[in-house]
Every structure is written in structure tokens, then in C-alpha cells.
Amino acid sequence: MTTNTTKTPAQQPTPLLPLPTTAARIGVLTGSALALAGTFLAWTWTEEFPGNLTVTGYPGGLQVITLAGAALTLLFTLSGMGVRGLNWLTPAGKTGPTALTALGVLGTTTYALAAISVQLGGLINLEPGAWISEIGALIAVIAALGLPGDLPPDDENTNPWTRFKHHLKAPPAPRAKELANSVEILIITAAFGIGLYVFAYGIDTYSELFVGFLITVALAAPALFRAGLIARLNRLTAKHRTITLTAALIAAACFPFTQTDESYALIGANILIFATVALGLNVVVGLAGLLDLGYVAFLGVGAYTAALVSGSPQSTIGIQLPFWAAVLVGAGASLIFGVLIGAPTLRLRGDYLAIVTLGFGEIFRITMNNLNGSAGPDVTNGSQGIPNIPDLEILGFNFGAPHDILGFTLGRSGNYYLLMLLFTAVVVMVFRRSGESRIGRAWVAVREDETAATAMGINGFRVKLIAFALGATLAGFAGTVQAHVSYSITPEQYLFANTVPPNSAFLLAAVILGGMGTISGPLVGAALLYLIPAKLQFLEDFQLILFGLALILLMRFRPEGLVANKRAQLEFHETGQLDVPEQRLPDDNVGTAKAGA
């Protein structure tokens, strides 16, 4: 009696990896290990280059960033090889994250070598540790070209560059097994803790170190997406939304306590002002689909109103209201201007509406200049603005004085950062509630097709006017804090475009690059658009060139924004659906046609 010894597919032994794939992974491991080891050796002989790269035994400056990138590449490679305990690192893509992080290590190390050579005067200033890390990073990238893509390439396109492009694409991460709620909450908390540490480290960097940090983060972030870790984290945050918002608020509140320099806390406060105004613009542009190029004027209305009623010695009104009253007056003034400007202009669409709003922004700035007592009534002191705006004092808490909290000394910038964080939380709540309401669905309907929305009974003009008024109110709301943070208000702060945000161009870019119609998108976009120019000032004339190049690349490879909703992803990318098949005659008609022929 013969016995069937055929094994089922589940019983088949796992085939060995192809030799080229194994060699490529060994190459990535070897190169990453060399790059990591080189960071413990001196990269230059003099301390004139920032970061103290002369010490052997522990890394510093740009060496720390290279070490972090090399360690992440090693972990992703080992996870792709199926090492027990590391499989969770790459639930979706096994090779794409490795290629991206390896490229980040090479970019950071190459930039470091170039910066040392240019600043110190030649390659002679490089020590062996720099060359070891550079050669190791190069080996890792070349070996990564030999790894098979997570999505198989076409039969006719099997060259290394095509395979490398497939590393940038990964299938959706498989749904993970359910974990205990306590474990999922712990994962969310750890994720926000890591995010706080990375942000605090980045804002604390300087000149050349920040550029290296930016290169690594720019490639490590998509690597986490391709690995599937971000997708799984999004599922957890969607499941525990309240816990997520609480963790985000706590992590943001801890930021000023991680900083010892007041200038960095001031950057954080200005980022929150910029982000809050961008979120208000997201109501107008992202939800209602109205292109507003003069939105920064509403920020100016709120700031000027608060400056006039907050007790400045140069105020022509000469009154001092409590802060809560000044906030209401500033937000109310912006609301009135939003209705007055929106009522006659919102019957326009597209480019015509954009031109009118751009004109309003310029009219506001020119009017503030002319209210100087010479060309017009003496209200705003003209180009001199309103200086010496006093610091706030709420319930005996003076925001201009340092305070000891939990053993940490919080200065003026930290105080205003926490106040602005509270304002940001209020604006986020308003945006979320309004977007999920009936009027929010009406905004989306008008944005997608106003004619169809009108046919369904939606009053398009009324809906757009509400969006315009709400966006103006939120901008004026943030402007009341900006007036106190900046000490003085001048018309030049509210141009359409200049090198210092916030301005209308940067606000619109923050919404589009971050992700229109989302909550976290404008916050992320505003943080990047404010932080990057502030940190690249040492590049002087090349600052805007590199900044513009980064925006072009981002729009080329992720036009839907950094944090995009599903609708935007479907609009800007292929859905992977099959093409519609060609129409064919039914069998009966075919036979009839043949008979007729």
C-alpha cells in the first residue's frame, strides 16, 4: 500500500534566500557597521568645526546623527532577514526602509565631509574616522541596490535603479493582532515621547548640525511609512482618539521644560502661533475650498486690536482691558472684517476670488501705514507700529517673569508657549467639531462641486461666508497672543510674502504641504516651514534656494501633503484598479454580424 508523502504548502520547507539577495544584505550589514564604527573615531583634528568631532571613543555633533541612521539601518536589515524579535519593525516593507535609511546615512556623512572640507580648507582636514563612515555608508547604499523590491518590478525593467525605486513602494501593512488596551496605550505614549525627543533635539541643533538632522529625518520618516509602522500607529491612535489627543497635549506641554535656551522656547511659541493660524486657514482652503491669499490680514486685525486695548504707552486709545476681554475684542474685530470682506467677494470663484483676497491683504497693510496722523487719522502710528506692549498678567501670574515649576525654571518664552498651546488646543477642538458637523459636510460638498451641492439644497454663499468668518475669527484669536509675544506690531509683519513667517504665502504653503482638510497636517507643515528657515539663516543667500528646492521635491513626490486624507491620496496617486475592459459585442450580436458579413 503506497503512502502519499506529498507535503501541503504549509508543510513545505521555507526556501533559502537567493545568493545575490543574501550577499546584498550582508553588504548592507557590513557597510552600516563600518559607518557606525567610524563615528567612534575622530573626523577632524580641530575643534573649529561645530560639534567637537576630534574625540575618539564617543561621537559628537554630526557623528551622533550618522550613528543613529546606521543603527536604524542595521535594525531594518536584520528585521528583513527574519531575525526573531525584530519582525515587528517591518510589517509591510522588508527592503524599502533599509534602502531609505542607508541613503540617509550616506547623505548625512557626505554632507559632513563636505562641510568640514569647505569650512576648514580642504580634504586634508579629515581624519580616518570620517573616511571609514563614508566608505561604509557608500557600501550600504550600493548593496541596497541589489535587494529585491517589496513590489516585484516588470520583467523588462530589472536594472538596479528600477529595483531601487520599488524600494520606495511598499504594500499596506497587514493588520496586527489585537493587543491589550494597556499595551496599546503604552505604545501611543512611547511614540509621542520619541516624537518629543526628536523634535526637541532638532530645535536644539545649530547650523551644520541641523542640516544633517534634516537629511536624516527627511529619509527616516518615509522609511517608517514604508515599513508600515506609521500605518499601525495610526490604527491605534484612531482607536484611542481621546488618549491620543491627551498624549499629544502632554508631550507638547513638556517641550519648554526640555529647553535651557529661551530662544528655542520662543521658536516653539512662534511655531504654535503660525500653526494655529494655518489651522484657521485650513477651514477656508482645506474644508471649503476657497483660495485666500490675504489671510494674514486677519491675524493682523486681531494683533492690532489687542495691542490697542492692552495698555501700551504708544496706544492712541489709551485703555487697558483684561486679557480675556482683549481676546474677545480681537477675535470679534477679525470676525467683523471677515464678514465685511467675504459678503461682497465670495460670489466670485477660483482665481478671481484669490485676486480679491490678495488685494484685501495689501489694503490692510497700506491702511495700517496710513493711519499715522498725517495721511489719515492717528490710530496705528503708521510704519512705527505699536511698540512696548506690556506682558500679560492672568490671576497674578506674570508671563514676563521667570517661574519655578516642578524644579524647572520657565522663562518668558516658555510661559507664552504654554499659553499659546492652550489656544492651539481650543482651535483644534473648534476645527474638529465644525469639520464633523453638518456645516462641515456642507463645506466639503461645496469644495468638491458647488453646482451639485446647490442642486442638493445647500446655500453655497451662506456656507462659504460661515467658513470665511470662522477662519478670520481663529486668525484674530491667535493674533491677540502674537501681539504680546512680539512686544510690538508693525505693518511690515503682514506682507503677502517675506522671509519671516507668518505671511499669506507661508500660511498657504503650510496648509497644502501639511495636508488640506486634516488637523495634524497644517500643524506639521507650519512647524517645518517656520523651523527650517529659522535654522538655515547661516546659509544666507542660499537659504531660500535650498528651501524652495525642498518644497519642489516634496510636491513632486508627495503632492497630497505630509499628512493626507484618503480622498487626497486617491486624487494624486494611482489607485491600482484595473483598467476598464474594451467593450465587446454580445455573442448573439457577434453571430449576427458575421452572418450579415
Measure the CA–CA gap between 166 and 164, rounded to whole angstroms: 5
For 415, the enclosing helix (H) or strand (E) is helix 412-435
Q: Where are the alpha helices (DSSP H) in 255-287?
A: 262-282
Per-residue pLDDT of the chain (597 residues; tens, 9 = 90+): 444 444 444 444 444 445 567 888 899 999 999 999 999 999 998 888 888 888 888 898 899 999 999 999 999 989 888 787 788 888 876 777 888 899 999 999 999 999 999 888 888 889 999 999 999 999 999 998 887 765 554 544 455 555 555 555 555 556 666 778 888 889 999 999 998 899 888 888 877 888 899 899 989 988 888 888 888 888 888 888 888 888 888 999 998 888 777 888 888 899 999 999 999 999 998 888 888 888 889 999 999 999 888 888 888 887 888 888 989 999 999 999 999 888 888 888 778 888 888 888 888 889 888 888 787 787 888 888 888 888 888 888 888 888 888 778 888 888 999 999 999 999 999 998 888 889 989 998 988 888 888 888 888 889 999 999 999 999 999 999 998 888 888 888 888 776 667 778 888 888 888 888 888 888 888 888 888 877 877 766 677 777 778 778 777 777 777 887 766 666 665 544 444 444 444 444 444 444 444
Contacts of 309 (CB under 8 A, 6+ apart): 315, 317, 319, 320, 321, 325, 326, 329
Burial label, 148 (beta-carbon count in 10 A; 0-12, 13-18, 19+):
middle
Measure the CA–CA gap between 52 and 339, rounded to whole angstroms: 57
How many Cβ atoms sit within 10 Å of the Cβ of residue 248?
Answer: 19
Q: Where are the alpha helices (DSSP H) in 170-240?
A: 181-203, 207-227, 229-239
Residue 57: DSSP 8-state:
S
Q: To 10 degrees, what angle do helices 504-514 and 543-557 make?
A: 30
Cis amide prior to 502 (ω within 30 degrees): yes
**CA angle (162, 164, 166) in 5-degree steps:** 75
- Reduce the DSSP state of residue 44 to 3 states and report it: strand
Contact 137, 28 (CB under 8 A): no
Contact 356, 274 (CB under 8 A): no
Contacts of 544 (CB under 8 A, 6+ apart): 499
The C-alpha cell of 178 is what?
489585537
- Write down all domains in the chain, each with its CATH number in brackets: 18-221 (no CATH), 259-539 (1.10.3470)
Measure the CA–CA gap between 499 and 548, rounded to whole angstroms: 12
Residue 90: DSSP 8-state:
-
- Reduce the DSSP state of residue 320 to 3 states and report it: strand
Measure the CA–CA gap between 307 and 299, rounded to whole angstroms: 12
For 409, the enclosing helix (H) or strand (E) is strand 408-410
